[in-house]
Amino acid sequence: MITVVDYGMGNLRSVVKAIESCTMDVRVSSDPASINDSEALIMPGDGAFGAAMVNLRDRGWIDPIKDFIRNNGKFLGICLGYQLLFSSSEEFGHCEGLDIIPGKVVRFNLPTGMKVPHMGWNEVDLVGYSKYMKGIPSGSHFYFIHTFYPVPDDRSWVVGEADYGGKFACIVGKGNLLAAQFHPEKSHDVGLKIIENFVRTV
């Protein structure tokens, strides 16, 4: 069973529809106990980092998610669900994250004339390895919408980079974990290929 984590941040339907193109063995759950019989977790999300961490904490998700990842469970983080994996964020001051990946989430500091949020299609260069990126060419385009982005302390986590006023890590991964700043579920065939790889790769 693939569980899409519902912690009250964002519309989950587009993610579920993308998964259903590969398998119907998927559910949306607001109950952390559902992790116990999950083969994989997907954590999407839109909105503010601090509010998301409050929701995860108040709803009892934090320890189950961290234990699942540390036990090498299959995990896909999308957009805010990517940022929350990091140690902290500077959004609205300092906020602690899940601290799965050492690093900090920072705001774009862009040249004059470049707009925030970073919104639309952008090219992604693959600079590292993940089994979930199999069959996806470096230089593929994905759909982004975000104002903040993570800066990993350890470059060995970085799988893909995009450029928006400078290069930034937009895909990270190790083992059974993959997380992306862009929305694969909104990125047409190449994004759906990531989801297919995640669903079908053992």
94 catalytic, yes or no?
no
Q: Are 195 and 185 in contact (CB under 8 A)?
A: yes
122 closest CA partner among 138, 149, 143: 143
Catalytic residue among 39, 79, 141, 170: 79
CB 159 within 8 A of CB 171: yes
Annotated active-site residue in 91, 95, 161, 183: 183
Q: Is 183 a catalytic residue?
A: yes
3-state secondary structure of 104: strand
Instruction: Find the angle CA(95)-CA(99)-CA(103) to the nearest 5 degrees.
Output: 80
Q: Is 185 a catalytic residue?
A: yes
The token pair at 105 is 């989430």
Listing DSSP states for 129-159 in one string gives --GGGTT--TTEEEEEEESEEEEES-GGGEE
> Per the residue annotation, which of 91, 118, 170, 185 is the catalytic one?
185
15: its two tokens = 């993610």
By annotation, the residues acting in catalysis are: 79, 183, 185
